[in-house]
Amino acid sequence: MSTLQGGQIADPVHKYVYFTSIERIILDRRVAQRLRWVAQNGLNHMVYPEVRTSRFSHSFGTMHLASRFLAASIANADADSQVNIAKRITELIERVIEKDRGRSGRTPQGSGPLLGTRK
């Protein structure tokens, strides 16, 4: 049985984005991979042809910044707070995994690819 490892992906904004084995599990899910084909900017590419950001790359960058924020928060917390943060993160990950098992394959309502085109 192979073990999942973290990795890195080249990113035009952040140069290289590193991810953990837990983040790899999330990124490898079918629902996350589907985001590669959903435009982040709706129909903006009709006016600005080079605007080709996908929801996947946007979500990946958001995950990267959230991870950096969390790492900085833990590094600057006292020992008791670090333990509490670790417990809370574990609980949240378990809840997300359980919710994901219940949803597998369903798209959230109201988040279509052209949701932000009409303003």
**Digit-coded pLDDT (tens) for 73-86:** 999 999 999 999 98
Which of the four pLDDT bands, split at 50, 70 and 90, describes residue 97?
confident
Bridge partners (DSSP) of residue 9 are 17
d(CA 42, CA 52): 9
pLDDT score recorded for residue 14:
83
Q: What is the rounded average pLDDT of the residues 74-101?
A: 87
Half-sphere exposure of 108 (CA within 13 A, CB side): 10
What is the CATH number that goes with domain 7-103?
1.10.3210.10
> What Å distances lie between residue 17 and 60, 63, 64, CA to CA?
8, 9, 6
